[in-house]
Structure 1
């Protein structure tokens, strides 16, 4: 009896000591099973990082290339004036875009009507606006065209550049309209401002500033600066607008520059537009230095060619700026570089 009693007591004691341990083990196992439902799947960390990188790229692209840019200029009747004067042959111009769906309502209004307000630039119409500004820069009378590097005799005449010989949609020869029309007339102060700003705005298709508008982008930017100055735009705002427009014309270039600045801890919205447009960043050689330090983005196209259609070859030129350029000017002079044409 005693033995039995001792045995029962031992069994009871053992059971009492085992029971809490068993409960703890069961709770631990149950916890693991439940928690496993919420653990990330294998490699999910990699996917999250990839998604974050994608989101970051999209955010950067939206900052550099918004869906549209509002150019705060009154276009008015400039298109009609250029058409009437023959800088733009309207029939040739429309035919150029027939195979691409024709001119849109807004672009036709810019070409033919007189009461145009601000220009809204989109990826779809940026090439057309480039060409209209090119025509304006070419035809509007300005001292930069008459006394600047375009007239340097070492280049064999102003007609040998992509910005002149490449303009094939005028009535007659493009040089018949070169700095020949007083579409707008700048005051002395406005002219000084245009000359100052134009010497600080570069383009990645070559190594020249807007002051030497030897290609379509340079001539178009010169035209834009003249309009901005004539309508009272400040120097600071001119740089801001020029950077937005250049980014649309050279999207891959400025996405790459934006990545470089982001790598340095500077958001695109915080960059200095004047600095970004300088030779250090926006000239052909400057951009190559930047591009060598970052991964270049996927291509977004853009108006890279010097021909009217953006993808048409520029004429043969002695300057080396277009296809077949075979007589480079003296090294001491600023010069158009190969690669500006298609």
Structure 2
């Protein structure tokens, strides 16, 4: 069985991205607002059963109005987009067997939308965008790309490269990838899907080595679960399109919010109680081990519980298909 894992301000001016093959030239974060708030187009705030709400306990000092305001900032109904388009990326991984369309669709537990079907089978020039309705689709789509793309993080510079082959193939991200024609471990770092220049690779590694996820204590550079692999793929696409490290940190903060809505609600309330709204929290700080690793998040959550008891309702997704 695959293993599962269990206050400053950002820069406000974001440079345009450099055009890359199969990717349109766009601004990294659509609708950049105060403090780098990230807005794009589409979808309802709590739509799609993939996300559920975190509710305050009865009698809590946090009113439902405060919670709603926090959620509106955490999970913007318009979604979050990076500059890179899907292009023909998913049809390529389908053709190479990494993704089996029938298995992929079955794992969604709902029919694909017309846009998702087109992205998966025909390719599309839509930007890579996440919202409350498509968060599960984006997670699974990027997951397959993240494990299959040949990048030094997986082959030489990252923690994955130090593991024995059997171990690498039996992680939640690899052994848990059952949506292809072969076991997921057989696809690990086998395909040149997202080529990067040396400078782009340096940007990617700066982000990957310094960003974490609350399901475990591992950085993006160790994508041993689906969220880690998906986050790595998103960062690779952004880096290939010319994003700066700050821009990728900001995007990953937004994508993680949709993948971990309960955990990031806790972080948002923690920062709000200290005078910083979620859009103005420094993405690199939020994604650091002190806040976004499993251990760091638990410490923040315990501290917030003493100030403002909250009740967690299951939400987001697990680390397997």
- 1:115 Cα deviation from its structure 2 partner: 3.0
User: Is residue 171 from structure 1 mapped to residue 181 from structure 2 by the alignment?
Assistant: yes
Q: How many residues align?
A: 258
- 1:176 Cα deviation from its structure 2 partner: 2.3
**Counterpart in 1 of 2:167?**
157
**Counterpart in 2 of 1:140?**
149
Q: SS at the partner of 2:129? A: strand
Q: Deviations over 1:23-65 (max 9, x none)?
A: xxxxxxxxxxxxxxxxxxxxxxxxxx99993322211111111
Label 1:207 to 1:254 Cα distance change in 2 as closer, same or farther (>3 A): same
Label 1:84 to 1:156 Cα distance change in 2 as closer, same or farther (>3 A): closer
User: Is residue 96 from structure 1 mapped to residue 107 from structure 2 by the alignment?
Assistant: yes
In 2, the alpha carbon distance for the partners of 1:52 and 1:128 equals 32
User: Is residue 69 from structure 1 mapped to residue 79 from structure 2 by the alignment?
Assistant: yes
Q: Judge conservation of contact 1:68–1:120 (CA < 8 Å) in 2.
A: no
Q: Deviations over 1:168-205 (max 9, x none)?
A: 01111212211111112111111111111101110000
Q: SS at the partner of 1:194? A: helix
Q: Judge conservation of contact 2:80–2:255 (CA < 8 Å) in 1.
A: no
Label 1:300 to 1:68 Cα distance change in 2 as closer, same or farther (>3 A): farther
User: Is residue 125 from structure 1 mapped to residue 141 from structure 2 by the alignment?
Assistant: no
Counterparts of 1:263-274 in structure 2, within 5 Å, are: 263-274=273-284
Label 1:227 to 1:208 Cα distance change in 2 as closer, same or farther (>3 A): same
Label 1:139 to 1:296 Cα distance change in 2 as closer, same or farther (>3 A): farther
Counterparts of 1:321-340 in structure 2, within 5 Å, are: none
In 2, the alpha carbon distance for the partners of 1:188 and 1:83 equals 28
Q: SS at the partner of 2:87? A: coil
1:279 to 285, 289, 294: 289
**Which region of structure 1 is more displaced relative to structure 2, 86-95 or 207-216?**
86-95
TM-score (norm 1): 0.71
- 1:262 Cα deviation from its structure 2 partner: 1.3
In 1, the alpha carbon distance for the partners of 2:310 and 2:166 equals 39
Q: Judge conservation of contact 1:248–1:302 (CA < 8 Å) in 2.
A: no
- 1:156 Cα deviation from its structure 2 partner: 4.9
TM-score (norm 2): 0.76
In 1, the alpha carbon distance for the partners of 2:310 and 2:111 equals 30
In 2, the alpha carbon distance for the partners of 1:289 and 1:264 equals 16
**Counterpart in 1 of 2:89?**
78
Which has the larger strand fraction?
2
In 2, the alpha carbon distance for the partners of 1:229 and 1:111 equals 22
**Which region of structure 1 is more displaced relative to structure 2, 213-222 or 261-270?**
261-270
User: Is residue 114 from structure 1 mapped to residue 123 from structure 2 by the alignment?
Assistant: yes
Q: SS at the partner of 1:201? A: coil
Stretches of structure 1 that go unaligned for 5 or more consecutive residues are 1-48, 309-342
Q: SS at the partner of 1:220? A: helix
Label 1:160 to 1:134 Cα distance change in 2 as closer, same or farther (>3 A): same
Q: Judge conservation of contact 1:163–1:214 (CA < 8 Å) in 2.
A: yes
2:301 to 282, 291, 312: 291
**Counterpart in 2 of 1:314?**
none
Label 1:54 to 1:92 Cα distance change in 2 as closer, same or farther (>3 A): closer
In 2, the alpha carbon distance for the partners of 1:133 and 1:297 equals 31
Label 1:191 to 1:118 Cα distance change in 2 as closer, same or farther (>3 A): same
